[in-house]
Chain A
Amino acid sequence: MSEAAVSDPLWVQLAYLVAAILFILALKGLSSPKTARQGVLAGAVGALLAVVVLFFSGIELKNLALILIFLAVGSIVGLVAARRVKMTAMPQLVALFNGVGGGAAALIAVVEYFEVGSSDLLFLIFTVATVIIGSVAFTGSIVTFLKLQELMTSRPVVIPAGRWVTILVAVATIVVGVWLVVDPQDWLLVALLILSSIFGVLFVLPVGGADVPIVISLLNAMTGLAVAASGYVLGNLLLLIAGTLVGASGTVLTNMMAKAMGRPLTSTLFGAFNGSTAGSTAAGSDRPVRSATPNDVAIMLGYANKVILVPGYGLAVAQAQSTLRELADLLTEKGIEVDYAIHPVAGRMPGHMNVLLAEASVPYEQLKEMDEINPEFSSTDVVLVVGANDVVNPAARTDKTAPIYGMPILNVDAAQQVVFLKRSMRPGFAGIENEILFDPKTSLLFGDAKETLTKVVASLKTV
């Protein structure tokens, strides 16, 4: 451990304490919708305080100009990316931000190892921990980014003998890590960096599409731990506290998400290992479905008493949130009861759909969570599913071989009639067929969600 922390002046240490408190308040604030924005503000103020104080804390800062240039460039890149990203692509951006944070932690530990040299046992252990966890978070996040950005398949990737390759790499990583602690040599650190990076890729590859959000959350918690470990390596208390806070809260959050998906964390991470994700009803694609015209759908909706809208990621991709709201407003004007049913993982991440609909000014009170809306379906005349699939797929209840088995779903099959707005018969993100599509009470309206919704709205005005 370096002596930096010990020699920090008192006012610097107090400033770091204030920053740590602000981080705790940030997480606390983010736990409630009312205080969430203050929470973010508290966190940002804490981070700004910490970085500014660091520059005036009297630590040795050679290369100040270069540091400031790289700091500025990184800030601008982060700012522009965060401002420019479409809300639909936000999950992968969060994954990417998380990854670079993990990568930074790993690199810091590497440099500190070379700078300080090596003697202290705990220093070496934490250096190894930072490098491993940081590298895994880095490459793992890059793979999740590629999956969500659809630059590679979102399905589980099972490489031949992948399980054994993964185990082999994991064992090799641990062996090299232990070796490095016992007998510190530079080339071992490089080997460790490479091995744990490979492990990060292998670790995320077999994770199926619908489980990717859980993995992002897990990798986020891991980056937190890497940062905490790097805090120990550098003897910086604030990094230790901030990293630990994120690691702990991230673990809780990961667990909550896994629960919302109805699956234990272990099966998310290792499900694909068992090869159980082979499509169960691949033969279903040729079966007849009932397709409808926008006019049919408008009539169905116009004469209903109660309508539930089920928005999914497809809605967001088509940027049709406002059109859907227009439809809902029109139905409400006609005296029809309208609710939005929001599945916990609608969209690409938990809560993603709420963000997307709020963007389209949908009143918050109309958004009903799954537990609240599920008993309502049996008394509903028409359910309009717009660009959603996996979250209404009864295979989650019945088909034990389905990758989404056990996930709580919206019981749209209990309603009188179901209308699906879909681009095609292509299965959802989880890559499995949906039996409801072939149900006699189901009608399908094919096409771009925005176009078809606009047509439905137009016909509804004449009904």
Chain B
Amino acid sequence: MDGIALLTIFILSIFVGFEVVSKVSAVLHTPLMSGANAIHGVVVMGAIIVAGKAQNNVELAIALIAVLLGAINLVGGFVVTDRMLEMFKPKKAPAAKEGGAA
């Protein structure tokens, strides 16, 4: 793929990134940040690619550390985001208790 095509995709992605989060309530700032954080964890792909073609032990060692770090970012990021959002589940029990008391 040539440079112009990559540049085009880059610029369009910027606009998409701006647009999708333009209206977010403060309540969701933290989960959104954490979710975006998890998404850039796909950097682990890049780490796997360079580890797969490492030509010597130094390159391999550095690449494997990158695999490790990327995997932590990716898996941890999604799990912690999900845990945050678990809290937003509508919980019927306390509401019902309140209704019964009133």
Contact = CB atoms under 8 A, between A and B. Distances in A.
Contact of B43 (A46, A227, A359): A227
A140 interface: no
A101 B37 contact: yes
A245 B93 contact: no
B4 to A, nearest CB: 11
Interface string A292-303: 000000000000
A19 B74 CA distance: 14
B83 A352 contact: no
| Interface-centre pick from A23, A60, A344 (highest chain B CB count, 10 A) | A23
Contacts of B70: 74, 100-101, 104
A250 B36 contact: yes
A40 B25 CA distance: 17
Given A27-B20, A241-B9, A67 B48 contact: yes
Contact of A78 (B21, B64, B76, B88): B76
A50 B37 contact: no
A379 B16 CA distance: 44
Contact of A249 (B21, B34, B48, B94): B21
A66 B51 contact: yes
Contacts of A78: 71-77, 79
Interface string B39-73: 11111111111111111001110111111111111
| Interface-centre pick from B37, B51, B67 (highest chain A CB count, 10 A) | B37
B29 A350 contact: yes
Interface stretch (A86-94, A389-397, A443-451): A86-94
A257 interface: yes
Nearest to B50: A111
Interface in A226-250: 226-228, 230-232, 234-250
A457 interface: no
A46 to B, nearest CB: 8
Contacts of B93: 361
B53 A62 contact: yes
Size bin of chain B's contact surface:
35 or more
A132 B60 CA distance: 21
A82 interface: yes
B53 A248 contact: no
Contact of A71 (B39, B48, B95): B48
Contacts of A240: 6, 9-10, 13
A253 B24 contact: yes
B54 A115 contact: yes
A216 B36 CA distance: 12
Interface string A53-72: 01100011111101100111
A39 interface: yes
A107 B66 contact: yes
Given A104-B44, A351-B27, A352-B30, A249 B18 contact: yes
A97 interface: yes
A101 to B, nearest CB: 4
B87 A108 contact: no
B37 A114 contact: no
A30 B35 contact: yes
B87 A241 contact: no
A452 B58 CA distance: 58
A359 B89 CA distance: 9
Contacts of B89: 37
A331 B83 CA distance: 30
A37 B85 CA distance: 6
Given A74-B72, A217-B33, A253-B21, A33 B39 contact: no
A44 interface: yes
A423 B9 CA distance: 53
A377 B56 CA distance: 67
A242 B90 CA distance: 31
A194 to B, nearest CB: 15
A85 B62 CA distance: 28
A32 interface: yes
30 contacts: A26-B35, A30-B24, A31-B32, A33-B27, A36-B85, A40-B81, A62-B54, A67-B52, A71-B44, A74-B67, A78-B79, A81-B72, A82-B77, A87-B83, A94-B33, A97-B80, A101-B43, A104-B67, A107-B47, A220-B40, A226-B43, A227-B46, A228-B10, A243-B40, A244-B13, A244-B17, A245-B17, A252-B21, A350-B29, A351-B27
Closest 10 CB pairs of A and B: A248-B17, A74-B71, A78-B76, A350-B29, A101-B73, A82-B79, A78-B75, A244-B13, A358-B87, A61-B52
Given A51-B45, A257-B29, 12 more contacts: A43-B39, A59-B52, A81-B76, A94-B37, A107-B47, A115-B54, A217-B33, A234-B49, A239-B45, A253-B29, A349-B30, A369-B27
